[in-house]
Amino acid sequence: MYVCSHCGADSPKWIGRCPACGEWNTYKEMTIRPTSPSSAESIADTALGRGLKRNKPIPLVEVSGKELPRLDMHDAELNRVLGGGLVPGSLVLLGGEPGIGKSTLLLQTILHLQERVLYISGEESEQQIKLRADRLGISPANILLLCETNMEQIFTHIKNVEPQLIVVDSIQTMTTESQESAAGSVTQIRECAATLLKYAKESSVPVVLVGHITKDGAIAGPKVLEHIVDTVLQFEGDRHYLYRILRSIKNRFGSTSELGIYEMRTEGLRPVGNPSELLLTQANEGLSGVAICAAIEGVRPFLIEVQALVSTAAYGTPQRSATGFDLRRLNMLLAVLEKRVGFKLGQKDVFLNIAGGIRVTDPAIDLSVIASVLSSNVDTAIERSVAMAGEVGLSGEIRPVTRIQQRIAEASKLGFQQFLLPEQSMKGLDIKVPGIELVPVRTVTEALRALFG
C-alpha cells in the first residue's frame, strides 16, 4: 500500500499528488500485514494490568466535571504556556529544530520534580543524559532512565515501574512490532502515539513527547500526530542568540496565545521573568528609527523595540524586508503613510526588525512601526522616554487596542514618562496613572505631530 507521509492517506497505487492534502510526491510504499484488531490496544492494556475493556455509553450528567489538580512543573514559563501546569492524563508534544534545547528543557524540568519520572530516550545513551544532568547540577533519585525504542519492551517496564510522568525522546524513533514499516514512518508514528494516548487517558499519567520538525518548520510525521495530542508546544529561536521562545500552538487545557521566554546559559535554560528589560536595548539614546511598543502575548504585557531603516533604493527597485513582523502588514502601513500623511516612500528601501529575535502578531504594534519608519526617514530620534500602542486603520485613524491599562502599567514600571494611545481607549480608563503622561491621538498625523512636533 502507498501512504502519504504528510497526512497519512493511503492508496492501493502510487499517486503523484495526494487528493487529501494536495501535497506532491509524498506517497511512500509501505508493507502492510494483517494484524488482529487488538494488537495495538493490548500493549497499553498489558501495562494497565488488565484485559481489553469494553466501553459503554453513559449519560452526560453522570460524568464528573471536577478539574483534576495540575502537576506543578516548577517552571513559571512552562506552567504559563501549559495553562497552569501539566494536566493528569494529558499528551503533550514538544517540537523544535535540532539543537535548540528541547531535551535540555525537559531534563532540567523533570530534575526539579518530586514525582517518579520515567525518561525514555531513543536517541541518547544513559551516559550522555547523565553528563547533561551533571552539567545542570542536579541528580535526584526519582528519575529513571530507559534507552529503548521498542514499544512492547517499554510498556513492560512501565508496568513494573508505575511512573507518575513519562517523557519520550523522541516519538520518531519509537517502533512497535505490530507494524513492519521502519521507524519514523507514518504508520509507526501513528501507532506508537495512539498507544501512548490510550495509556495516558486510562491511567491518568501525563506523557510528554519530543517531536522532530522538517525543514519547512512543521512537525515531522503525519498530521494526525498533532490532532491526537492535547497540547502542541513549539520551541523556537535562533541558535546564534541567547533567547529561546516557547509557544503553544494547540492547547485543550489553556490559551494558545501564551509565550514563554528562556535564556540559554552554560548551566541550562533560565526562565526570563521580565522580558521587557531584556528586549529593550539601553544604548539607543539619540538614534533614529527606534520606537518602543507595549505589546501583549496572551495575558502578558512586555515592551519591545521596533527598529526601522529607510534608505534610497540603490538599484531602482525598492526593497521591503521585515523580521519578526508580517511583510504584507508593513506594505499596508507604508501605503497608509503615503496616502494619508503624504510621505513618499515608493522609491526607498524599508527594512524593519523586531529586536530580540521574537515574532509579534499583536496589532497594537502598528503605531510604533509607522513611528520608527518616519523617524528613520527624517533622521530624527524619538524620545527614549516615550512608549506607544495603537492599531492603524486604512483611513489613517488610530484604532483602540485591548487591555490598555496593563500596557500602560508595564511602561510605567520600566520608567517611561509618556505613552501614546488611541483616543477611544481613554474611555473608562483611570487617567491618574502615576509617573506617566498619557497622550491620546486619533489619527496618524496627530501621532507624528506629538512625536516630532
DSSP classification of residue 341: I
> Among candidates 391, 374, 382, which has minimal Cα distance to 338?
374
Q: Start-end ranges of CATH 3.30.230.10 in the chain? A: 278-452
Q: Which residues of the chain have pLDDT under 70?
A: 32-42, 45-54, 239-240, 281-285, 430-433
Q: Where are the beta strands (DSSP E) in 100-197?
A: 117-121, 143-147, 165-169
> What pLDDT score was predicted for residue 10?
86
> What pLDDT score was predicted for residue 39?
54
> What pLDDT score was predicted for residue 286?
77
For 37-48+70-273, give the CATH class. alpha beta
**What are the binding residues?**
96-103
pLDDT in tens, 84-110: 899 999 999 999 888 888 999 999 999
> What pLDDT score was predicted for residue 399?
94
Strand (E) or helix (H) holding 2: strand 2-4
> What pLDDT score was predicted for residue 430?
66
> What pLDDT score was predicted for residue 165?
95
> What pLDDT score was predicted for residue 38?
45
For residues 310 and 338, the answer to whether their CB atoms sit within 8 Å is no
245: phi > 0 → left, psi -120 to 50 → alpha, else beta; which? beta
Straight-line distance from the first to the last Cα atom of the chain, in angstroms, rounded to the nearest whole number: 71
> What's the rounded Cα separation, in Å, for the pair 217 and 211?
12
**What are the binding residues for ATP?**
96-103
> What's the rounded Cα separation, in Å, for the pair 429 and 432?
9
Say what the pTM is: 0.76
Distances (CA, A) of 411 to 109, 272, 296, 314, 389: 32, 18, 12, 38, 11
> Among candidates 415, 410, 419, 352, which has minimal Cα distance to 390?
419
> What pLDDT score was predicted for residue 46?
66
DSSP helix/strand/coil, 329? helix
* Cβ-Cβ contacts under 8 Å for 98 (sequence gap 6 or more): 212
For residues 369 and 376, the answer to whether their CB atoms sit within 8 Å is no
- Mean pLDDT of all residues in the chain? 87
For 278-452, give the CATH class. alpha beta
